[in-house]
Amino acid sequence: MMRKQGGIEPLVFHTLNTLFMIILVIVTLYPFLNTIVVSFNAGNDTIRGGLYLWPRQFTLQNYKAVFASGTIYDAFMISVARTVLSTILNIFLTTMLAYAISRREYIFRKPITAIFVLTMYFNAGLIPNYFLMKDLHLLNNFLVYVLPSMISAFNLIVIRTYIGTISESLVESARIDGAGDFKIFWRLIFPLCKPVLATIALFVAVGAWNSWFDAFIYTSSRQELSTLQYELMKLLSSSMNANSNPAVANGVGMEHMTQVTPISIRAAITIVASVPILLVYPFMQKYFVVGLNVGSVKE
C-alpha cells in the first residue's frame, strides 16, 4: 500500500523520523544512565566532573553507605510497607465498590456513584485536610499514608466501566447457582478484572511509592516514619543549598566520607528508589490504555 507513493520522500521521512526517535531515546535515558554512573563512582572523584557514561573509579561504597545507614533502611521499609498496604486496599475496596455500583438493580447505585464522581472536581484543600488528619489522630501516624487515599474516583469509574464489559449472563448464572453478591464479586468478577487491576495496581503502587508530601506535612516530626522519597527530598534540598557540605549526609555512613559525598549518596538513593518500578512497568505496557480510559469518565 505505502509503496505506491514511491519517490524519495518516504526514505527521507523515515530517516529523519528514526533520527528524531534516537534523539528522544538519548534525551530520555541519558540523565538516568548518568545517575547510575555517578552512583557507582567514588564520590570524591565525581566532584572533578567530566563523568558521562562510564564510571572512572568504580565502587560499591555509595550503596554500602546507603544500606548501612539505619535512616535510609528504615525509610525504605516504611515505603515498602505503605506501598504494599495501599495497593492491596485500593484494589480490593475499589473493585468491591465498582461491582456494587455496576449492578443495575442496586437501589443506591446512582447516589453513591454521583457522590464519588463529584470528588474528582473539588478538594477541600491543604489546611482543612490537615485539621481533619489532626482530629482523626492521624498526625505522626503510619496510617496517614494509607487511609486518606484508599479509593480514587477515577479508578472506580475505570473499573466499573470494565466490569460493564463482562457478560451479564455470567453473573446471572452464578446467581441461579445460589451465589450471593459478595461471592459473585470475589469468585467471579475480581478474577475477570485482572487486566484492568494490573494497571490500576501499578498506578496506585507508583503513586504510593513516589509520594513524599504526606510525610513532609503529616509525619515530619517522627523520623522513624519517614519515607524513602522524603529522605531523598531532604538530601536534594540540602545539597542544592549548601554544595558538598559533609553534614548533609547526616547519619549516612560518616566513616566513608572520603569516598562518599552527598551527590554520590543521592545518586545511589535515586537508583534504589526508581529501580523497583522500572523493573515492573515494561511488562504492564499493553494494559496501560485500559487504565487510562478517559472516555469512560462520561456516564
Choosing from 60, 77, 132, 143, the residue that interacts with another protein (CB under 8 A) is 132
CB of 255 to another protein, least distance (A): 25
- Cβ proximity to another protein: between 127 and 247 the closer is 127
The phi, psi pair for 41, rounded to 5°, reads -105, 145
Report the C-alpha gap between 137 and 131 in whole angstroms.
Answer: 10
Choosing from 84, 85, 147, 192, the residue that interacts with another protein (CB under 8 A) is 147
Q: Label residue 90 exposed, middle or buried (CB < 10 Å: 0-12, 13-18, 19+).
A: buried
CA 68, distance to chain mean position in Å, is 25
Choosing from 54, 73, 108, 244, the residue that interacts with another protein (CB under 8 A) is 108
Our finding on whether 188 is near another protein (CB under 8 A) is no
Tell me the per-residue interface mask from 236 to 275 with another protein, x by CB under 8 A, - otherwise: xx--xx------------------------x---x--xx-
Q: Which residues contact 97 (CB under 8 A, 6 or more apart)?
A: 112, 116, 151, 156
Our finding on whether 181 is near another protein (CB under 8 A) is yes
- Cβ proximity to another protein: between 25 and 254 the closer is 25
Helix, strand, or coil (residue 119): coil
Choosing from 6, 8, 53, 122, the residue that interacts with another protein (CB under 8 A) is 122
- Cβ proximity to another protein: between 115 and 254 the closer is 115
Place of cell 494490573: 198
Q: In 133-270, at which residue ranges do the beta strands (DSSP E only) sit?
A: none
The piece of 18-26, 62-70, 190-198, 248-256 that touches another protein (CB under 8 A) is 18-26
Our finding on whether 215 is near another protein (CB under 8 A) is no
Report the C-alpha gap between 76 and 71 in whole angstroms.
Answer: 9
The answer to whether 265 and 252 are in contact (CB under 8 A) is yes
CB of 85 to another protein, least distance (A): 16
Choosing from 72, 185, 204, 261, the residue that interacts with another protein (CB under 8 A) is 185
Tell me the per-residue interface mask from 53 to 92 with another protein, x by CB under 8 A, - otherwise: ----------------------------------------
The answer to whether 151 and 93 are in contact (CB under 8 A) is yes
Report the C-alpha gap between 147 and 124 in whole angstroms.
Answer: 16
